[in-house]
Amino acid sequence: MKLIASEQGIYLLFKPLVKTEAIIVHQDQVVAAGSYEKLSTMPGISEETVFKKPLGPGFVDSHLHLDSLGFEALTKELHGRNIPSILEELKHYSRKIGEWKISGRLNPIYLEEGRMPVRSEIDKYLGNDPVLIVHQSGHVGVLNTLGVERALTILGNSEGLDVETGYIYESSLWKLLAHIRSQAGEGELAEAFSKGFEILQSNGVSAIGLAGIRLKELEALLEFYKREKVAVRTYAYVLVDELINKREELRKVLSQEYPRGLSVRGIKILIDGALGPRTALLRNDYSDAPGVRGMCNVSMDTIKEALKFSEENGLQLAMHAIGDAALDIALDALKSSANPGVHRIEHASLVRDDQLEPIKALKPIIVVQPRFILSDKWILSRVGQGRIRWVYRFKTLSRITTLVLSTDSPVEPVAPFETIYAAITRGLRDGIEYGYDHSSEALSILEALDSYTRGGAYALRDERLGCLLPGCYGDIVEYSEDPLKVKNIGEIRNINARLVSS
């Protein structure tokens, strides 16, 4: 048994707040908690570690993309200020998967042009290989001419592909990305997984929800877990396309025996897109694009089929719904569920007042990404002044259902205290002027910590996560300073966390 103590104390739970001096961990589980004086005299202690910094439970990031996180960390970031400089960088430093040149995700808000490049611009710099540049949101990308030609062959049609600009949207982009990543060898996937886990561990994340994985990647991850000692627990959500197209193969995958730390938790379905590229589904037009209301990626029949399969197989359905109209579809689908509170709604970025009552009645788990507040600087122009108070309604949602914090990494950085900072400040310290219009939706530091630990445990349906009480996993994080003793709220984002025991 291991005795672990801290000179500044150990947080066992944040809501209610429980703190102690020491804990004992045995075979991956906390078996005792209390004073150092009492626990240090217990028989059977084989190892003792006393930390100088405060400790707490591992963070649970229930919505991210491990392979993308790893691949993009292994790909040189683009730092150019305009499209020509970005493309010049890409020409010399881009990573290849098979024949494809792939960039890290690009946020056009930081470019002088304020937009993604188009096909003809990429051709001037990169014409000999198919090229794909993915928008920061992951819901739109852009191809060069050779990339467009390859995409038409791979997809079989031009649906979701603007041949003139090279822009490729939503499900068509995801199908193309799946094809490209299928060309990655086992070694490349393993390298991406390894890098992703390294980043997570160094940021104090002890458990993750894979928000959409294909069966081939899941099989590669399974082999990785069998070969390597992995400190991070992984709960996978398989993309609904695999259910529709490979049902029997999926059944076999579900019946497999998995190693410690890896399991399949559910089915992921993307109802709409993202607000940035205006593909999130809204009930009314985008304020800066009259006549545009976004895209619906899936039929209600497919959602209900996925819901039925999930409930028959003891799984969760995780529904991506950013726009308010997409949220309508998700809530309507859950009305036919025998146990709607088991299932998840991802993002819920725009929630109307009339949607609060059905959310309260159905009580789905709502998994949000507070860092979007700081990144989505254009959101007022997208939704307008009349809808801005419906954006990222964390406090309101936390009062009527289970609210869970996550990152959607690599869309947003993994760093937990960056996410917590966004949840409690709402952008008011970062020049987000419209933050005053919804400042009442800010969470307290304790609420944010709880939603990022125990909330994540609830989202992943594993009550042993996100706490250090006896019976919980011994996943311990060391903080660079005590988050509950920071005097200046702006300093929260500067706290570092690292996983020290798992």
The pLDDT value given to residue 463: 96
Is the model's pLDDT at 421 over the cut of 90? yes
Tokens of 2: 């291991």
Tokens of 469: 């009480």
Contacts 24+ apart (CB under 8 A), 259-262: 259/222, 259/225, 259/226, 260/28, 261/225, 261/230, 261/232, 261/233, 261/234, 262/221, 262/222, 262/225, 262/230, 262/233, 262/234, 262/236
Greater confidence (103 vs 379) lies with 379
The pLDDT value given to residue 455: 98
Over the chain, what is the mean pLDDT?
94
Domains detected in the chain: 2-60+473-501 (2.30.40.10), 99-182 (3.10.310.70)
Region 126-154 average pLDDT: 92
Number of neighbouring beta carbons within 10 Å of residue 38: 12
Helical residues (DSSP H) of 401-497, grouped into ranges: 416-425, 445-459
The pLDDT value given to residue 58: 98
Greater confidence (95 vs 322) lies with 322
Region 471-493 average pLDDT: 95
Number of neighbouring beta carbons within 10 Å of residue 128: 8
Region 19-36 average pLDDT: 96
Lowest mean pLDDT among 49-53, 176-180, 325-329, 377-381: 176-180
471 in Cβ contact with 33 (< 8 Å):
no
The pLDDT value given to residue 136: 84
The pLDDT value given to residue 190: 92
Region 403-408 average pLDDT: 97
Reported as a pLDDT band with limits 50, 70 and 90, residue 439 is confident
Cis peptide before 416 (omega within 30 of 0): no
Cα–Cα dist 290/190, whole Å: 45
Region 464-491 average pLDDT: 96
Tokens of 495: 């706290």
Number of neighbouring beta carbons within 10 Å of residue 442: 21
> What angle, 0 to 180 degrees and rounded to 10, lies between the N-to-C axes of helices 186-202 and 66-73?
90
Cα–Cα dist 446/451, whole Å: 9
Is the model's pLDDT at 312 over the cut of 90? yes
% of residues, the chain, pLDDT over 70:
99
The pLDDT value given to residue 373: 94
Distances (CA, A) of 488 to 8, 230, 423, 451, 482: 19, 36, 15, 21, 12
The pLDDT value given to residue 351: 98
Residue with tokens 């809204």, as numbered in its chain: 282
> What angle, 0 to 180 degrees and rounded to 10, lies between the N-to-C axes of helices 215-227 and 186-202?
70
Region 339-351 average pLDDT: 98
Reported as a pLDDT band with limits 50, 70 and 90, residue 14 is very high
> For residue 350, what is the DSSP state?
B
Reported as a pLDDT band with limits 50, 70 and 90, residue 502 is low
441-471 confidence digits (pLDDT tens): 999 999 999 999 999 999 999 999 999 999 9
Cα–Cα dist 102/116, whole Å: 15
Candidates 392, 390, 303; CA nearest to 343 is: 303
190-247 confidence digits (pLDDT tens): 999 999 999 999 999 999 999 999 998 999 999 999 999 999 999 999 999 999 999 9
Lowest mean pLDDT among 39-43, 75-79, 474-478: 75-79
- What are the backbone angles phi and psi of residue 198, rounded to the nearest 5°? -60, -45
Candidates 439, 268, 424, 291; CA nearest to 347 is: 268
The pLDDT value given to residue 446: 97
Work out the burial of residue 280: count CB atoms within 10 Å of its CB; fewer than 13 is exposed, 13-18 middle, 19 or more buried.
buried
Region 112-133 average pLDDT: 94
Candidates 297, 298, 308, 294; CA nearest to 349 is: 294
The pLDDT value given to residue 294: 96
The pLDDT value given to residue 94: 63
